[in-house]
């Protein structure tokens, strides 16, 4: 395993304001909304010598194989409200919302993606009866492109990397096309901030599940990072309440833009090619919107390699979680943190602590999953010990 483990020299533990209170009600009105499973992994706790490891499995969220729909749905809704200058007529479910917004048609959503965010935006567009145009970097596997096309989206492969796809998607903005991007650039900051807001539901669900079973809130949380929008949601949640867990961010070793930025003291571009199998994390630049929270709230930064992601997938499959490559990054990163001599010496004693790993993605490329894990994703067993 090759890894770079560093403290965040910019961490200041500052408070951040909590997210919007209407979020839970909004997500409850989305189709097939239900909290995802949080479950106990006693084998992992024993392996790492910690009190408890809980795994939040975002392998199936509203029928999609990642958490991204939480941010995409909320940001799309907020962007539409802003576009029409008001809330839509009252609605209780997505069909009513689609009917109330039909007057906008023909109408389009667009974004760049390295997979999951684009699929989530495609899903929202289909539910609302809108068109959708998705821009992807070259080299994206067909399974991910097909998934977006099956939602009815037009997918354009951009000759370049994720950052080039972001630039191309931005050109689509018009009176009849909303860009719903999870990363930001100068002048485009509101919608990415709303994507971040939408992710908060995950952490509220974790609190609810732990509280319901009388278990302690986490002492250390491990979050994968691409542009850092998801991490920004973690920082908002865990730096706005009474509990202040240690926050650990994980990136691929050749796309460690948050780590490089923290060490440089300012947002820093990490050049490509970004070819990690943790494709959702192949980003060269942190999101501008996320950066203030990233620099302030993250305690430890871990850059890890593809072999550890593969091992993470196998280890998670052993505890009944069929995680994709990106989904396994949190376990790979936690393993690297606990194997690092400096981190071990500087971290507090974790032997009674609760560790939260967020597995952000299911097996989005079933062929690759089978090759790496040695069995098909659907053969991976069910949850062994449910927390709630």
Which chain residues interact with ligand PLP by CB under 6 A? Answer: 66, 68, 114-117, 182, 224-231, 280-281, 326-327, 360-361
Residue 188 Cβ, how far from ligand PLP at the closest point, in Å?
15
Is 65 or 218 the residue whose CB approaches ligand PLP more closely? 65
Is 36 or 116 the residue whose CB approaches ligand PLP more closely? 116
Place of tokens 């194989």: 65
Is 97 or 333 the residue whose CB approaches ligand PLP more closely? 333
Residue 361 Cβ, how far from ligand PLP at the closest point, in Å?
3
Residue 99 Cβ, how far from ligand PLP at the closest point, in Å?
31
Contact 245, 206 (CB under 8 A): no
Residue 232 Cβ, how far from ligand PLP at the closest point, in Å?
7
Is 107 or 237 the residue whose CB approaches ligand PLP more closely? 237
Integer CA distances (angstroms), 118 to 97, 181, 214, 240, 340, in order: 21, 9, 37, 29, 35
Is 233 or 387 the residue whose CB approaches ligand PLP more closely? 233
Contact 49, 348 (CB under 8 A): no
Residue 179 Cβ, how far from ligand PLP at the closest point, in Å?
16
Residue 165 Cβ, how far from ligand PLP at the closest point, in Å?
12
Is 327 or 377 the residue whose CB approaches ligand PLP more closely? 327
């Amino acid at each position: 395993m090759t890894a770079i483990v560093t403290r965040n020299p910019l961490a200041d533990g500052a408070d951040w304001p909590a997210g919007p209170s209407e979020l839970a009600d909004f997500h409850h009105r989305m189709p097939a909304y239900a909290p995802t499973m949080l479950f106990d992994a006693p084998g992992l706790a024993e392996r790492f010598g910690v009190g408890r490891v809980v795994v939040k499995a975002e392998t199936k969220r509203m029928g999609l194989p990642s958490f991204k729909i939480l941010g995409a749905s909320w940001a799309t809704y907020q962007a539409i409200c802003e576009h029409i200058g008001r809330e839509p007529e009252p609605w209780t479910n997505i069909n009513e919302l689609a009917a109330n917004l039909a007057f906008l048609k023909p109408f389009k959503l667009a974004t760049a993606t390295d997979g999951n965010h684009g699929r989530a935006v495609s899903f929202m567009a289909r539910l609302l009866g809108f068109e959708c145009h998705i821009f992807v970097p070259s080299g994206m596997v067909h399974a991910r492109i097909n998934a977006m096309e099956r939602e009815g989206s037009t997918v354009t492969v951009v000759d370049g990397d994720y950052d080039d796809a972001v630039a191309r998607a931005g050109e689509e903005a018009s009176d009849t096309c909303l860009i719903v991007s999870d990363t930001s650039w100068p002048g485009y900051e509101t919608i990415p901030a709303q994507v971040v807001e939408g992710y908060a539901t995950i952490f509220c669900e974790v609190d609810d599940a732990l509280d319901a079973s009388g278990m302690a809130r986490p002492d250390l949380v491990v979050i994968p990072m691409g542009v850092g929008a998801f991490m920004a949601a973690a920082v908002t949640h865990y730096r706005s309440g009474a509990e202040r867990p240690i926050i650990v961010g994980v990136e691929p070793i050749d796309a460690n833009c948050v780590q490089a930025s923290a060490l440089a003291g300012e947002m820093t571009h990490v050049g490509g090619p970004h070819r990690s199998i943790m494709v959702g994390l192949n980003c060269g630049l942190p999101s501008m919107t996320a950066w203030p929270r990233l620099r302030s709230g993250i305690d430890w930064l871990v850059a890890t390699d593809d072999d550890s992601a593969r091992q993470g997938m196998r280890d998670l499959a052993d505890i009944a979680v069929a995680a994709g490559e990106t989904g396994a990054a949190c376990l790979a990163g936690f393993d690297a943190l606990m194997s690092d001599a400096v981190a071990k010496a500087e971290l507090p004693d974790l032997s009674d602590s609760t560790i939260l790993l967020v597995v952000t993605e299911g097996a989005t490329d079933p062929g690759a999953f089978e090759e790496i894990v040695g069995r098909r994703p659907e053969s991976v067993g069910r949850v062994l010990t449910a927390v709630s």
